[in-house]
Structures are given as C-alpha cells and as structure tokens.
Amino acid sequence: MAASRLSPLSVFYRAGETVIRLAWVLVIATVGSRSMGVPTVAGVGVVAAGFVLALLYQFVYWQRYEYELTGDTFDIRSGVFSRRTREIPLGRVQNVDLQRNVVQRALGIAEVRLETAGGSDTEAQLRFVGDEEAGRLRDAISRRKRGTGEGSDEPEPEPDLLFAVTPRELLILGLTSVDLRLLSLASVFLPVVLPSLTDEFADPLLSFAMAAPLGAFGLVLAAAVISGLYSITNYYGFRLSRAGSELRYERGLLQQFAGSIPLEKVQTLAVSENVLARWLGYASLSVETAGYAPGDSSGSQSAVPIAERDRVFALARSIDSFGDPDWQRPPKRARTRYVVRYTALVLVLTGIAYAVDRFTGLSYAWYYVLVGVPLAPVGAHLKWRNLAYAVCEDHVLTRAGFWSRETRVVPYYRVQTVVQSGTVFQRRRDLATVLIDTAGGGGITGNDARAIDIDASAATDLRETVNGRLQDSLTEARAARRRRRLESVISSGGRGSGAGVSPGD
C-alpha cells in the first residue's frame, strides 16, 4: 500500500489539545492584561495567537507524518524539525489497540497504538486516523501476522463472542473494585478531620482509637465510590471475542478502548479475587503479554473484568487449556513463621507506644496496642491458607494473597528463568521461594508467578521440574519448526527431489 497520512481532523484536535494544556498560561495572560489596564481584546488576541501557532505546527506535523504497512513491517516517517524513520517488524507486534474519547468519537477519529514485545512504552501511536482506517489497519496487521496479504481472498474470521458483561456484573464490579491506593488521600484529610474528632476525649490513645475507625470508614467509603464509578465507566459495554488466533476486546463509556491480543503472544493468565469478590463467588481474568498494555506498564490486559468464578476459570481454559490443579500448600512451619513475624511487629509497635508515653510526657493507654497479639495467629493462618502451587502436564500454577488473591497460570514453554531463593529466616525453617519468570513479568521485583515459603526440598524439585519441562517444550517447538520448514520446501519447490527446489527457496 502507498504511504498514508493521518486524518486532517487530527490537526484541529491536536491543536486544541495544545491550547488546553497551556490554558493556565493563556488565562494568566488574559487576566494580567486586564489588571494592567490593557484592553481585554489583547488577552483574547493572545489566546487566538496561541491557537493559530499550535494549528500551524500541527499542520506541518500532519504533512510530514506518513505511515505505510508493508509485507512484514509497519513504517513511520515523521518529524517537524528533524526527520525520523522507523520500521516496526510485524512479528514483534503484540497488541493493536484503538482508543477514542467522547470528542474523538464525535469527530470520527481514533488513536491507534502498536505495542511490541519487550517494550517499556507504546512503540507507535497514530494520533489520529479515521474510524474506518483504524479498523482497516487492525485487520490488515492481523492478516499480515497470519501470513496472508492485504489483497488475499481469505475472509476475515468471524469473531466468536466469548464474554459480554451484563448490567448485574457491572454493578458487582463497581461494588468490589475498591482501589486501596486512593487511601493515600488520608495524608490530606486526616490532619484536618482527626483533631476535631479527638477533642472529645481526654485520653489521646482512646480518642485516636475512637476517631481512627470513623476516619478510616469515611476514607474507605470515598475510595469505594470513586474506584467503583471508575471501574463501571472503564468496563462499560465490555465484550471479549475470539477471531481466529487472536482475542479482541472493546470497552469503555467515556473513553472507549478496542484492541486485539494474539493468542501466541500470551505469556501468563491471572485470575484475581479480592475478599469481597471471593465472598460473592466472583473473580476477574487478565492476560499478560510481553508488550506494554495501555495504562499498565506490566503488560497486563483485562480479559474478563468480573464474572462468576467457575465461568472465569472456564474462559481461562478456553484461552489456554490447563488441567485441574492439585494444590500443594506450604508446610505448617511456614504458618508458624508468620505468627512469629506478626507478633513481633505488634510488640515493636507496643514498645514504640510505651516509649512515647514514658519519655514524651504524653500520657495515654499505650497497652491498647497489645490487642493485636491475639490477631496475629488469625492473620498468619489466612496468609498460609491462600498460598499454594500446582504442577500440571503443560503448566505450572501459583496462588497467593488474602485481601486480593491471585492465581497465575504459566505454560512451561513461556518460562524464561526459574530462581530458587531463601532468606536467612526462611533457611532457619528449611523453607524457600521459587520464582517463575516470563517475558511478560518484571523479574525478581515484578509480578511473576511465585511458590512462596515451600519446603526447601520441594522447591528444588519444583525448580528442576519446571526447567526440565521447559527444555522438553523447547525441543518439541524446534522439531515442529523444522517439520514446517521441510513441508514448506516440499510443497513449494520439491518436485521429485531436492534438486527441484528453486534458488529462491
């Protein structure tokens, strides 16, 4: 295909974006001109001049931005002051995502993002092309990756709907999607709210014990409302389909997302259940690729935002079939370790509270902190009960987390490294942790699958088993590639004998 340009409407939209980003400068210029006795029309002129300059820059940007889809690459030539040419191999493309907000939908334009393997950011952004062009690019790249050309007679596979969120599931998603990161707002509101609540009590610790739950409840409620509304608008109209060898999704109310995820690029499946969702019998499913997913640097993309737990696992098996796991829990001495750890933490906090009471002259009932001692065994048991791992024929599974439990499914052929480690405290109890790293994870400090605090000998067996099955899967993959190459040579040029193979083969 010949080189193409972005939509002409992108010039006006991006110019408007520039003006909005610099709105505070324009407001200061307008207000300042009025305060200095300069006519208001001068301030309006500044705003108009800013828009004209942005419009001129974006027009030149549009003229000098060209893209072309070839047989095996996606080429981009761009640059206003310096020219830049990029060739993105289609074999490295993981996801093709389309994004449109309300204004973009009204203008009939969309942003196309290409995510590649191993990238820490979006590899290419087309801002913006027409809606039809965006869909055509997504389908054309998909055909190229399947090995069929733009003019191929092979019809585009009809998407098979796997999942569509219902209003009831959307409501449950809003109720269970409490983002605890929003509790960082406590640093802003608690210094203002707590003094007025604690003035009613003589004992400072007692006043804190009464006021803190009220403040915490208010913050959790606010976080639940905000994160619930965000989840509902973010996953409104969610649909997941399977078209040939790729997954396609669409979602969003204010900001719409649509994209494709090649099944052969999927590294890991993750089933997540927070406490409330688990109590209601619901879970969510995300797929992890080696690329960079929109809004998530870990490369994770939601495949099912919320559904009944059994259905989520059924959908996970339809994406990458794995057997019923035979879960193995850590030994009970790991639970004893957690009891000691949590009890020690409570005692340290008690010592700090006593020191403040003893040496600062601030008298209060410091011993109330000891109420955490009987809670330590409960927390230790809940942590231990939700840790497990399982070895299946073609996959290894891990499970961890109480407040938000996550089950990760890793195919052996996707494993990159297997690391067995043990801290000083783990070695004292003959325990170890096994990290199973994939291209989609973040390594030792990332979110890879982990078998935590298992018996040291079991950890060694698990490491050797995963490594052994990884090598077996790689051997089988190499043999399969050799068979395909041989079949391709025979079918294309091998007439009678190897002498019949053309030089081009």
Local confidence pLDDT in tens for the 505 residues of the chain: 578 999 999 999 998 888 887 766 666 666 655 555 555 566 667 767 878 888 999 999 999 999 999 888 999 999 888 889 999 998 888 788 899 999 999 999 999 998 886 655 678 899 999 999 999 998 888 888 766 555 554 566 678 899 999 999 999 999 988 776 655 655 555 555 555 555 555 455 555 555 556 666 777 777 788 888 999 999 999 999 988 788 889 999 999 999 888 888 888 999 999 999 999 999 999 988 865 444 444 445 678 999 999 999 999 998 888 988 999 999 999 999 999 999 999 999 999 988 888 887 777 778 888 999 999 999 999 999 999 999 999 999 999 999 999 999 999 999 999 999 999 999 999 999 999 998 766 544 457 899 999 999 999 999 999 999 999 888 887 888 788 788 777 876 654 444 444 334 4
Sign, CA dihedral 205-210-211-216, equals positive
Kindly write down the DSSP assignment for every residue of 45-78, as one continuous string.
Answer: HHHHHHHHHHHHHHHHHHHT-EEEE-SSEEEEEE
Domain map (residue ranges) of the chain: 174-234, 332-383, 387-489
Give residue for tokens 């400068």.
25
293 and 261 Cβ atoms separated by less than 8 Å: no
CATH topology of domain 387-489: PH-domain like (2.30.29)
pTM of the entire predicted model: 0.79
Cα end-to-end distance, the chain, whole Å: 25
pLDDT at 93: 84
pLDDT at 217: 72
Sign, CA dihedral 5-11-15-17, equals negative
pLDDT at 204: 54
What b/e sequence results for 191-208 when a residue is b if at least 16 CB atoms lie within 10 Å of its CB, and e otherwise? Answer: eebbeebbeeeeebbebb
Token pair recorded at residue 417: 């490294």
pLDDT at 357: 81
pLDDT at 482: 85
Chain centre to alpha carbon of residue 102: 23
